[in-house]
Chain A
Amino acid sequence: MTAQRGVTLALVASIVASMVLIGLYLAGGNPQLEGIGLAIALGGLGAAIVIWANALLDNRVEAEERHTLASSAEQRSIAREALDPEQISRRRFLVRLLAGAGGVLTAALVLPAFSLGPQPGSDLFRTAWRRGIRVVDTNNRPVRPSSLPLDSVTTVFPEGFVGRPDSQTLLIKVRPADLELPDGRGAWAPDGCIAYSKVCTHAGCPVGLYRAREHQLLCPCHQSTFDVLRGAPPVFGPAARPLPQLPMELDAQGNLVALGDFPEPIGPGFWDMTHPPPAES
């Protein structure tokens, strides 16, 4: 096939495809047909130009000289003379004062950037959990141990704060005899109901996967795995700290209530996490 014919064929295909595209759009459109139509319309045009370039143009290989990029010494000295930096740099005191003024002004002008966000304050240290707040499910209904099936996992929140991200908590029902919690933490898990922060201590993704048979929580982002029966220490993956455990007890009606906030900051670490601010009343 000659190049001329190739170019003609490609352009005709392109024209037909473009017209089909117009009709397609007027008729309501369909992503797959639009994509194919566009591909042929563009492809035909592009192929035509490439065939033209490669087969119908005079494509002689030629050479061109490279001139030295650097200017000559004479040109450089002319430039230096025109710039005459010494007339300015001679006034050393004024130059330094100018630099100082520029620096301080820049610092001042940068300040409005701090309006972009609040100080972290104690936000990273606290959630909405408080002593006496009831544990509720996503429908804001209080939870009692008897309503939780064995080997179930439920996402819970402090009452009145359903959906609050830093307070999201996993409530897991296990056999009380299976628990091997650190000292004192056993009292935080009445009737085999154990609660951990759902925010991964590695990079903050919700730890949504629960392997019920092995009692292990897995975070899907980077595969940190936590042992539910032993206080959620990490047993695999890049997380270095256990999921904080929520201290709970049963109230008079048999609902689960929190004994207080998590004992450690939830979620990923930060530089001063070992220095919590003074507790507020």
Chain B
Amino acid sequence: MLGWIDDRLGTASWARSGLRKIFPDHWSFLIGEVALFCLVVLVLTGVFLTLFYVPDATEVTYAGPWQPLQGQQVSAAFNSVMRLSFEVRAGLVMRQIHHWAALVFVAAIAAHLLRVFLTGAFRKPREINWLVGIGLLLLALAMGITGYSLPDDLLSGTGLRVIYSVVIAIPFIGPYLAFLVFGGEFPTAEIVSRLFVFHVMLLPALLIGGVLIHLAILWRQKHSQYAIPGATEHNVVGRSFWPTQVFKSTGLAILTAAVLALMGGLVQINPIWAYGPFDATTVSAPAQPDWYVGWLDGALRLFPPIEFTVLGITIPSPFIPGILLPGIAFGIMSVWPFLEARVRHDTAEHQLLDGPRGNPMRTAFGVAGLLVFVVLTLAGGNDVLAIVFGVPVEAMTEILRVAIVVVPLLGFGITYRICAELRRTRGHPMERAPAVRLRRTDDGGFEEIGPE
């Protein structure tokens, strides 16, 4: 059988190099794979959902089994998701697996990005893959936002309103761009079908293409590795692709699907029947987007009411937190490899990874950046946090406004000190602290020899 294929494609020669290719083994190198397998689950469940979804805002009368909505006018899109949830066998579990997979997908990308950053894996020759990865993160965010807006329910529709308002806030082109994308003044009937085209065709094409490029570059450059015994800048130490890594990765893929299936069946997510169809004249509280957009919403909540008109041009208050801030954040992330190389005068190739403590400055910046993101994400849920901690919403907001400045600064300082200290003592956090070693001197006294 393999001979039949080889006669036509000459595949055996690939097998020689490919099957025995060495990949380093460390659990932190599997985080990216978790993201990849979440994507596989998303595509598979997504195809199922697409076969039932109707991308149409035309009103129909709901006649399904969920009593509170019976007889009401809802969009065909909303109706199709209701039918999928209540009248299609396995519909609800597939929908919930899909949505949980989306949340975990972006979480895994974020964790993977953090690992790549803290170990310096973005350095030469991997700058291109870093940029591809940032692009994939943006595409994943776009997929998520377009996806959860498809059911045209009250919660996601409110989110679309906010996005529309942020776009409107862009000077000069804002209103034109918003009217172009939405097809007119919010709310429009066109937006549902346009989001569908992006979510099901255009963005997946870019995302899958990007993932293939990401993997191809990784394959060609070989994976980076930690400085374990035997590892150098000129080799790869690990285990072979076949059978070890293929088995492990296949097992991980199936276990990822298992975890997502467990969540999809046991934990309710996005109960659109409770929110009801989108209605631009009402809103439900609390109102949040999915977690990975929470940082943007939090920025909108924390930013002070600064709006000014200069030379007749108004800069509305959502512009700085909604457009400038993410632009700066992603800009810094994108140029970081080149910035760091310039600052450290480092043009060498790096195949060996730093541990986080290996570069205290980079790690400190990374932790500070992460803390900014975390505080903003928490700010996105400030009204829920206010209830959890029993404080007024206003107080919670003021606390977070202070935290967004203080916490990253503190984090920077503490992280730097910890990393520098660990480097100095060369201890590993999970081993016992190195004991003091003594040696008897010739004249009977004791002298201390430094830690090993």
User: Do A and B have CB atoms closer than 8 angstroms in the complex?
Assistant: yes
A119 to B180 Cα, complex, angstroms: 8
Within 8 A of A (CB), among B83-131: 89-90, 92-93, 96-97, 125
B contacts with A, residue count (CB < 8 A): 99
- Give min CB distance, B105 to chain A, whole Å: 17
Is A133 engaged at the interface, CB distance under 8 Å to the other chain? no
Is B156 engaged at the interface, CB distance under 8 Å to the other chain? no
Within 8 A of B (CB), among A30-61: 31-43, 45-50, 52-54, 57, 59-61
Contact B180–A113 (Cβ < 8 Å): yes
Is B285 engaged at the interface, CB distance under 8 Å to the other chain? yes
Residue of A64, A240, A272 near B307 (CB, 8 A) is A240
Contact A38–B261 (Cβ < 8 Å): yes
Closest partner residue, chain A, to B262 (CB atom):
A39
Residue of B165, B182, B383, B397 near A204 (CB, 8 A) is B165
Within 8 A of A (CB), among B281-309: 281-287, 297, 300-307, 309
For B300, list chain A residues within 8 Å (CB): 202-203, 221-222, 238
Residue of A123, A165, A237, A268 near B169 (CB, 8 A) is A268
Is B195 engaged at the interface, CB distance under 8 Å to the other chain? no
Is A220 engaged at the interface, CB distance under 8 Å to the other chain? yes
A114 to B254 Cα, complex, angstroms: 45
Q: Of B158, B171, B306, which is in contact with the most chain A CB atoms at under 10 Å from its CB?
A: B158
Is B204 engaged at the interface, CB distance under 8 Å to the other chain? no
Contact B266–A165 (Cβ < 8 Å): no
Q: Which of B233-241, B326-334, B339-347, B416-424 contacts A (4 or more CB under 8 A)?
A: B233-241
Is A275 engaged at the interface, CB distance under 8 Å to the other chain? yes
For A45, list chain B residues within 8 Å (CB): 254
A35 to B96 Cα, complex, angstroms: 10
Known interface pairs A53-B251, A206-B283; A271-B317 also in contact (CB < 8 Å): no
For A224, list chain B residues within 8 Å (CB): 305
Is B174 engaged at the interface, CB distance under 8 Å to the other chain? yes
For B238, list chain A residues within 8 Å (CB): 61-62
Residue of A36, A54, A66 near B265 (CB, 8 A) is A36
Is B52 engaged at the interface, CB distance under 8 Å to the other chain? no
Contact A268–B258 (Cβ < 8 Å): no
Is A278 engaged at the interface, CB distance under 8 Å to the other chain? no
Closest partner residue, chain A, to B161 (CB atom):
A204
For A50, list chain B residues within 8 Å (CB): 247-248, 251-252, 255
Is B371 engaged at the interface, CB distance under 8 Å to the other chain? no
Closest partner residue, chain B, to A56 (CB atom):
B247
For A120, list chain B residues within 8 Å (CB): 175-176, 178-179, 185
Per-residue interface assignment for chain B, residues 240 to 260, with 1 indicating a CB less than 8 Å from any chain A CB and 0 otherwise? 100110011011111101110
Contact A117–B235 (Cβ < 8 Å): no
- Give min CB distance, B409 to chain A, whole Å: 23
For B171, list chain A residues within 8 Å (CB): 271
Contact B244–A59 (Cβ < 8 Å): yes
- Give min CB distance, A16 to chain B, whole Å: 15
- Give min CB distance, A117 to chain B, whole Å: 4
Contact B186–A203 (Cβ < 8 Å): no
Is B166 engaged at the interface, CB distance under 8 Å to the other chain? yes
For A183, list chain B residues within 8 Å (CB): none
- Give min CB distance, B224 to chain A, whole Å: 10
Contact B92–A124 (Cβ < 8 Å): no
Contact A270–B297 (Cβ < 8 Å): no
- Give min CB distance, B32 to chain A, whole Å: 18
A59 to B179 Cα, complex, angstroms: 59
Contact B280–A220 (Cβ < 8 Å): no
Within 8 A of A (CB), among B37-78: none
- Give min CB distance, B101 to chain A, whole Å: 13
- Give min CB distance, B121 to chain A, whole Å: 15
For B184, list chain A residues within 8 Å (CB): 117-118, 123
Is A63 engaged at the interface, CB distance under 8 Å to the other chain? yes
- Give min CB distance, A139 to chain B, whole Å: 14
For B6, list chain A residues within 8 Å (CB): none
Contact B316–A46 (Cβ < 8 Å): no
Contact B175–A270 (Cβ < 8 Å): yes
Residue of A43, A57, A205 near B161 (CB, 8 A) is A205
Known interface pairs A61-B239, A220-B285, A234-B305; A117-B182 also in contact (CB < 8 Å): yes
Per-residue interface assignment for chain A, residues 235 to 258, with 1 indicating a CB less than 8 Å from any chain B CB and 0 otherwise? 011111100000000000000000
Is B183 engaged at the interface, CB distance under 8 Å to the other chain? yes
Is B207 engaged at the interface, CB distance under 8 Å to the other chain? no
Residue of A33, A42, A66 near B351 (CB, 8 A) is A66
For A222, list chain B residues within 8 Å (CB): 297, 300-301
Residue of B186, B230, B243, B349 near A53 (CB, 8 A) is B243
Residue of B187, B312, B318 near A165 (CB, 8 A) is B187
Closest partner residue, chain B, to A49 (CB atom):
B251
Q: Of B22, B162, B258, B306, which is in contact with the most chain A CB atoms at under 10 Å from its CB?
A: B258
For B161, list chain A residues within 8 Å (CB): 203-205
Contact B248–A269 (Cβ < 8 Å): no
For B306, list chain A residues within 8 Å (CB): 240
Q: List 13 A-B contacts (CB under 8 A).
A: A35-B93, A57-B243, A57-B247, A66-B233, A66-B235, A204-B165, A206-B283, A221-B162, A237-B301, A240-B307, A267-B165, A268-B165, A271-B169
**Known A42-B255, A66-B235; further 12 A-B contacts with Cβ < 8 A:** A25-B89, A25-B90, A31-B264, A35-B263, A52-B247, A52-B251, A53-B248, A165-B280, A165-B281, A220-B285, A270-B175, A273-B316
The 5 closest A-B pairs by CB, nearest first: A35-B265, A269-B316, A46-B254, A53-B247, A240-B307
